[in-house]
Structure 1
Amino acid sequence: MRLRLNSLNTFVLANVAHRPVRTILSVLAIAVEVTMILTLVGVSYGTLDATARRARGVGADIMIRPPGSSIIGLSTAPMSDHFIPFLQKQPYVVLAMGTGVQPLEGFDTITGLDLDVFTKMSGGFHFLEGGPFKSDDDILVDEYYAREKHLHVGDPIHLINHDWHLAGIFESGKLTRIAVKLSVLQDLTGNPGRLSQIYLKVDNPDQASQVVEELKKLMPGYPIYTMEEFTSLLTVNSVGLLRNFIAVVIGVAVIVGFIVVYMAMYTAVLERTREIGILKAMGASSGLILSLLLKEILALACSGVVAGILLTYGTQWTMKHLVPSSLNQETVYVWWPIAALIAIAGAMLGAIVPVLKAVRQDVTEALSYE
């Protein structure tokens, strides 16, 4: 029995190796399917985790956002900066800071802030080159944005229809990747006296939840979170847009895998019509032929999964070196078996019709096939 099993496995591997071009194309198609899934998931997790790290780097205990804003989006009707002195007078609040956020192309945003208040709340930026603002046209960027755009202190930058002077490059991990003076950003965007979000620091972080409950009574309709609560919400499952997008991409990947495997196996069955007829004439059962074909499909699918995981490290390296400030891809190990199951299931689904055709072939017709 063991000898027969080894012979069957050898036969399967020989069939796979006998048609290298078809085998390589099938493996690559399944690999692309796996890479699409793992790359998208990795970028989603990486982007949200980077956002959470920057939020924690502010040093605040509470965040207040405009009515109608989502976890990762901002409302088109920002808040008045009159909230700052109001909040500063609340019990337990020791510091209030407002920021303005303006979206740029891609995933980038530019943040306006009061650098002195920010320094009191977070300890300030750690500058790798240059230093803080000296004029209204000064701009600060983090190390990853500077690396991606090949920038150095003193370089001109054109953003939101304004020419800036790069005053400093800071270590990543606090609040934003691009910072300018709050008042300047407010004027340039036509939002004088308006804020995108407010951060609060309280005298006792253990009382942050209690302060949040009191503030919700004073500011009904405003999303108010402790920073711990806010960062815990930055997950793929909590952000409906990302969750739905991942589901769509997985669906597309499964369809691609299905079509490629279907075409590859249908061609393989046609090529081996006479071979299958000979096996049947020698007494091979339909179950044996079915087993041979399914093992071949499984071998292709498993090879594609391994290749897809390896290709994912390639996409990760590419993003890290070419677009480090725009996209951040993580390795999400928990998704490896999920992507593998999706790819293998799609391959098996795509092979149903060709395999059934092979099993049902008439021996006489198969032997006469040219």
Structure 2
Amino acid sequence: MNKLIVANLLHRPLRSIISILAVAIEVIMILSIVGIFMGMLNDQKQRTNGIGADLIMRGSNASNMNGAGPVSMPVKFVDVLRKIPHVTVVSPAALQLITSTSGVEIQFGIDYPSYNALRPFTFVAGTPFKGPDDVIVDDVLAAKVNPATGKPYTLGDTLSIFNTDFHICGIVQHGKGGRKLIPIETMGQLINNPGKASNFYLKLDDPANAQSVIDAIHNTRGLQNYPVETMDEWLSEMTPEKLPGFNLALNSVTVIAVVVGFLVIFQTMYTAVLERTREIGILKSMGASKPEIVSVVLRETAILAVVGVILGIAGSYGVRVAMLHATTLQFQIPSRWLLQGAFIAFAGSILGALYPAWMAARKDPIDALAYE
């Protein structure tokens, strides 16, 4: 029976290949959207944690996920925050979402001395800002190809930010907030909002004093309405459930992928059953039971599904390699989703084959043998 199943699949290789590709595409669609969203989320968490702050004070309309938002808080709040007991470093930053060739990213405008005091930069090459048109980039971005030179970015290369040319003055190890950092004064001028910040990062003498500092900030006139939380609390909010549109996008892609896989498998096995009417009649006349006939169809489907799932997982990692080569976006596929994606595709394929299998089992052996 196993030889018969393999022979049936090999008898019409194009149909089998199309079915395998349908399952593979289903897996790639599911794992790719998970990989992109989870990669962006975990990368953001890692880089936010790498800033080195204990507390963050955000603007009232700043995003819970990335801190970007209206640059509305006066930088002079630094003087007030520094006077609060247990605060050792206060660093203002302006964060803005921008669109680049790599996709949507967060542009950081920083006060270098205080930002570096939170957790020092590790320079791979170059120096801190020396002028208003200098930019510091991380080693992930520097490894990408500069379209102007066809080579990885290096010191002195030009980057366009807000349609303004900046020159790379330093390359640092990744994980320190943004991939591109410019002086906060320059940022203010470019967005026509000088002297303002979207976030204040605070370093304390002891993280255990966080709550007393938060209370002191909220008891300070003019600061009562600004959200303040520990970095651990902020990082804990960066979950797929709180990522806008994540579940909706994932569910939509999953439904589309399952429907495509279901229909292709259904059509493949339905057509195969119609074409093998005499074969089914012979099997039943030789004593094959209905469960055995159903088993033949489902086992053929299972082979197609397993091969498709394996090809889909391999294809997803191919997408990952391509994205990491072409962009700075991170692509991470949790092992849990490898299993879930495989199960969804496999289950959808089996469901697509159930009716053709049931139809084959119901065929009358006399009518089947007389079929031309």
Q: Same fold (TM over 0.5)?
A: yes
Q: Distance in 2 between matches of 1:217 and 1:284?
A: 82
- Residue 223 of structure 1 and its aligned partner are, at CA, apart by 2.9
For the pair 1:295 / 2:278, whether they are aligned, the reply is no
User: Paired residue for 2:169?
Assistant: 167
Equivalent pair of 1:62/1:226 in contact (CA under 8 Å): yes
- Residue 77 of structure 1 and its aligned partner are, at CA, apart by 6.0
Equivalent pair of 1:52/1:231 in contact (CA under 8 Å): yes
Q: Distance in 2 between matches of 1:12 and 1:351?
A: 14
Q: Deviations over 1:106-161 (max 9, x none)?
A: 222221001111111111x2222222111111112112212224222112222212
Aligned-partner SS, 1:334: helix
For the pair 1:57 / 2:54, whether they are aligned, the reply is no
Letter in 1 for 2:265: V
Q: Distance in 2 between matches of 1:341 and 1:253?
A: 13
User: Paired residue for 1:110?
Assistant: 107
Aligned-partner SS, 1:99: strand
- Residue 51 of structure 1 and its aligned partner are, at CA, apart by 1.0
- Shifted more, 11-20 versus 340-349: the winner is 11-20
User: Paired residue for 1:320?
Assistant: 324
- Residue 226 of structure 1 and its aligned partner are, at CA, apart by 0.8
Query: Among 12, 18, 25, which residue is 1:19 paired with?
Result: 12
Aligned-partner SS, 1:128: strand
Equivalent pair of 2:65/2:237 in contact (CA under 8 Å): no
Letter in 2 for 1:154: G
For the pair 1:127 / 2:123, whether they are aligned, the reply is yes
Q: Distance in 1 between matches of 2:7 and 2:225?
A: 67
- Residue 350 of structure 1 and its aligned partner are, at CA, apart by 1.7
Letter in 1 for 2:277: T
User: Paired residue for 2:141?
Assistant: 145
Q: Distance in 2 between matches of 1:81 and 1:369?
A: 85
- Shifted more, 132-141 versus 221-230: the winner is 221-230
User: Paired residue for 2:286?
Assistant: 282
Q: Deviations over 1:218-246 (max 9, x none)?
A: 54443322111222222213324223222
Aligned-partner SS, 2:132: coil
Q: Deviations over 1:142-184 (max 9, x none)?
A: 1221222422211222221212122222211111100111011
Q: Distance in 1 between matches of 2:175 and 2:63?
A: 22
User: Paired residue for 1:5?
Assistant: none
Distance 1:271 1:222, change over 3 A: farther
Q: Deviations over 1:253-308 (max 9, x none)?
A: 11121122112212212221221122223332222111111111112112212222
Equivalent pair of 1:142/1:172 in contact (CA under 8 Å): yes
Equivalent pair of 2:84/2:216 in contact (CA under 8 Å): no
- Corresponding residue pairs, total: 360
User: Paired residue for 1:256?
Assistant: 260
Aligned-partner SS, 2:287: coil
User: Paired residue for 1:3?
Assistant: none
Equivalent pair of 2:71/2:197 in contact (CA under 8 Å): no
User: Paired residue for 1:229?
Assistant: 233
Q: Distance in 1 between matches of 2:360 and 2:230?
A: 62
Distance 1:348 1:216, change over 3 A: farther
User: Paired residue for 1:238?
Assistant: 242
Q: Distance in 2 between matches of 1:259 and 1:116?
A: 60
Q: Distance in 2 between matches of 1:314 and 1:92?
A: 49
Query: Among 178, 195, 216, which residue is 2:180 paired with?
Result: 178
Q: Distance in 1 between matches of 2:225 and 2:368?
A: 73
Aligned-partner SS, 1:52: helix
Q: Distance in 1 between matches of 2:265 and 2:212?
A: 58
- Residue 345 of structure 1 and its aligned partner are, at CA, apart by 1.5
TM-score after normalising by structure 1: 0.90
Distance 1:314 1:279, change over 3 A: same
Query: Among 352, 366, 369, which residue is 1:367 paired with?
Result: 369
Superposition RMSD in Å: 2.0
Letter in 1 for 2:331: Q
Letter in 1 for 2:119: S
Letter in 2 for 1:129: A
Letter in 2 for 1:286: K
Identical-pair percentage: 38
For the pair 1:67 / 2:60, whether they are aligned, the reply is yes
Aligned-partner SS, 1:104: strand
For the pair 1:37 / 2:30, whether they are aligned, the reply is yes
Equivalent pair of 2:71/2:193 in contact (CA under 8 Å): no
Letter in 2 for 1:140: I
Q: Deviations over 1:72-125 (max 9, x none)?
A: 2533463232322222222211111111112221222221001111111111x2
TM-score after normalising by structure 2: 0.90
For the pair 1:78 / 2:72, whether they are aligned, the reply is yes
Equivalent pair of 2:132/2:186 in contact (CA under 8 Å): yes
Distance 1:273 1:318, change over 3 A: same
Equivalent pair of 2:298/2:354 in contact (CA under 8 Å): no
Aligned-partner SS, 1:108: strand
